[in-house]
């Protein structure tokens, strides 16, 4: 199958491209390298350097493809609060431009990278696809707007679409040469990169130890990058009829931040220095998903655990930085 991956030089995109090519698909990549690395792109992929806001480039990217994985986006929550117009332009306008081209170019399958951030501070545990959406940041709102547009418009556009709402993605993967695909660590505020970079001089900050959880620290659901990619690839076989599905992707297993630091101690074979800080606005105490829908529709089952995630993330960091 001929497939376009937008954002194919980034963390999830490059791992997806690697997998698709290993399965014999022809792959095009469009990426402006704002959040990825050119050396991450498999040499068998056709690479178009530029932004999804470039209409001419986007038309070239979509030409002759049967399916689109749309991963290109602005993804930093803090940056989105400071630059809301940029986030709306890239995440909403860029996606709508891409969707408008699908019908004229005969694209039938559209897979969209959404986010657990659309649920905001959920009261459900675990979160399901039916849980209330109430994003608390610009990033989450831009993704929800596309989810809602696809729900309304996929049938009339003649596309079979899925919005995958990713929970916490971690770990790393190797390419066909057994090299670790590079991850952009600068500015990353997620828990696992923060643990990897922690030291006695710069301890990990844990935001709040008075949450209503087993040890007072927030609970999160971590899924390995390779498991996530398997779900994305598996969706190609599922997408047949015009319409739209929303599918949460996570392990359905929650770990508190302190449990993650204990797992890191085992995986990295060193002490993890941390200190508690006040709660952050917009943080939720527990963000864990049910993955029943992914299992049922895609026959998907995550295979890797927290230790695997931490070990692979550490190997990538040691190898590339």
Structure tokens at 163: 């919005």
- Least Cα distance to 116 among 137, 98, 96 occurs for 137
CA distance 268 to 309: 11
Residue 139 is a catalytic residue: yes
Cβ–Cβ < 8 Å for 102, 157: yes
Cβ–Cβ < 8 Å for 213, 285: yes
Residue tagged active-site, from 119, 139, 149, 274: 139
User: CA-CA distances (angstroms) from residue 136 to 62, 77, 126, 133, 281?
Assistant: 33, 10, 19, 10, 9
Structure tokens at 139: 């990033």
Question: Rounded to 10 degrees, what is the CA torsion of 300, 4, 155, 289?
Answer: 30
Cβ–Cβ < 8 Å for 11, 72: no
Structure tokens at 97: 């431009």
List of residues 6+ apart from 45 with CB closer than 8 A: 5, 8, 17, 21, 27, 28, 29
Residues 135, 122, 275, 182, CA torsion sign: negative
Q: Are strands 109-115 and 222-224 parallel, antiparallel or unpaired?
A: unpaired
CA distance 256 to 191: 11
Return the active site residues: 139
């Amino acid at each position: 199958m001929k497939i376009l991956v937008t954002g194919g030089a980034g963390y999830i995109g490059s791992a997806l491209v690697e997998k698709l090519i290993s399965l014999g698909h022809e792959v095009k990549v469009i990426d402006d390298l704002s959040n990825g690395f050119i050396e991450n792109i498999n040499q068998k992929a056709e690479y178009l350097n530029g932004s999804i806001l470039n209409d001419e480039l986007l038309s070239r990217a979509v030409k002759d493809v049967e399916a689109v994985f749309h991963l290109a986006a602005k993804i930093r929550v803090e940056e989105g609060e400071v630059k809301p117009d940029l986030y709306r332009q890239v995440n909403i306008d860029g996606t709508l431009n891409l969707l408008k081209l699908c019908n004229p170019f005969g694209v039938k399958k559209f897979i969209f990278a959404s986010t657990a951030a659309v649920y905001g501070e959920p009261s459900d545990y675990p979160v399901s696809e039916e849980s209330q959406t109430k994003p608390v940041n610009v990033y989450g709102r831009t993704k929800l707007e596309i989810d809602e547009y696809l729900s309304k418009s996929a049938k009339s556009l003649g596309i079979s679409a899925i919005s995958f709402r990713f929970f916490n993605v971690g770990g790393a993967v190797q390419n066909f040469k057994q090299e670790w695909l590079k991850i952009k660590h600068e500015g990353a505020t997620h828990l696992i990169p923060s643990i990897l970079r922690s030291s006695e001089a710069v301890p990990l900050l844990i935001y709040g130890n008075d949450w209503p959880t087993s040890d007072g620290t927030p609970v999160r659901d971590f899924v390995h990058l390779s498991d996530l990619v398997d779900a994305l690839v598996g969706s190609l076989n599922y997408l047949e009829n015009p319409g739209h599905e929303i599918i949460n992707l996570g392990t359905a297993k929650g770990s508190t931040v302190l449990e993650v630091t204990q797992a890191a101690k085992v995986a990295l074979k060193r002490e993890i220095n941390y200190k508690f800080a006040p709660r952050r606005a917009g943080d939720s105490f527990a963000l864990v998903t049910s993955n029943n829908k992914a299992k049922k529709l895609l026959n998907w089952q995550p295979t890797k655990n927290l230790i695997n995630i931490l070990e692979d993330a550490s190997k990538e960091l040691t190898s590339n930085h």
